Amino acid sequence: MVRFRRTFIGVLGVDLSNKRISVTGGAGFLGHFVLEALAKRGCRDIFVPRQRDYDLTTEEGTRRFYSDARPEVVIHLAAEVGGIGANQDNPGRYFFANMAMSLHLIEQARICGIDKFVQTGTICAYPCHTPVPFLEENLWEGYPEVTNAPYGIAKKAAMVMLDGYRRQYALDSAYLLPVNLYGPRDNFDLHSSHVIPALVRKCVSACDDGVDHIECWGTGSASREFLYVEDAAEGIVRATEVMEDPIPVNLGTCMEITIKDLVELIARLTGFEGEIRWDSSKPDGQPRRCLDTRRAKELFDWEARVGFEEGLRNTIDWYRSNKDSID
- Please give the tally of structural domains in the chain: 1
Residue 32 is assigned to a structural domain of this protein: yes
- How much is the pLDDT for 38? 98
Q: Could you tell me which residues are beta bridge partners of residue 105?
A: none
The rounded mean pLDDT for the chain is 93
306: three-class secondary structure by DSSP: coil
Q: Is residue 44 assigned to a domain?
A: yes
- What does the pLDDT read at residue 11? 58
Catalytic residues: 151
Residue 10 lies in a domain: no
Distance between CA atoms of residues 170 and 231, nearest Å: 29
Q: For residue 108, is it within any domain?
A: yes
Domain contains 176: yes
pLDDT score, position 82:
76
Eight-state DSSP code of residue 243: B
Q: How far apart are CA 115 and CA 144, in angstroms?
A: 32
Confidence bin at 270 (pLDDT 50/70/90): very high
Residue 162 reports pLDDT greater than 70:
yes
- Specify if 42 maps to a domain: yes
Using the predicted structure, report yes or no on whether residue 191 has a pLDDT greater than 90: no
Compare 270 and 5 and report the one with higher pLDDT. 270
Concatenated DSSP letters for 61-127?
Answer: HHHHHHHHH--SEEEE-------HHHHHH-HHHHHHHHHHHHHHHHHHHHHHT-SEEEEE--GGGSB
Task: Let me know if residue 206 belongs to a domain.
Answer: no
**Confidence band, pLDDT 50/70/90 cuts, at residue 1:** very low
For the ranges 42-56, 64-78, 79-93, 304-318, the lowest mean pLDDT is seen at: 79-93
The average pLDDT across 44-51 equals 97
- The CATH number assigned to the domain holding 102 equals 3.40.50.720
Residue 327 is predicted with a pLDDT of 64
- Say if 35 falls within a structural domain: yes
State which residues form the domain around 149: 21-183+226-252+290-306
The H or E element that residue 22 is part of is: strand 21-24
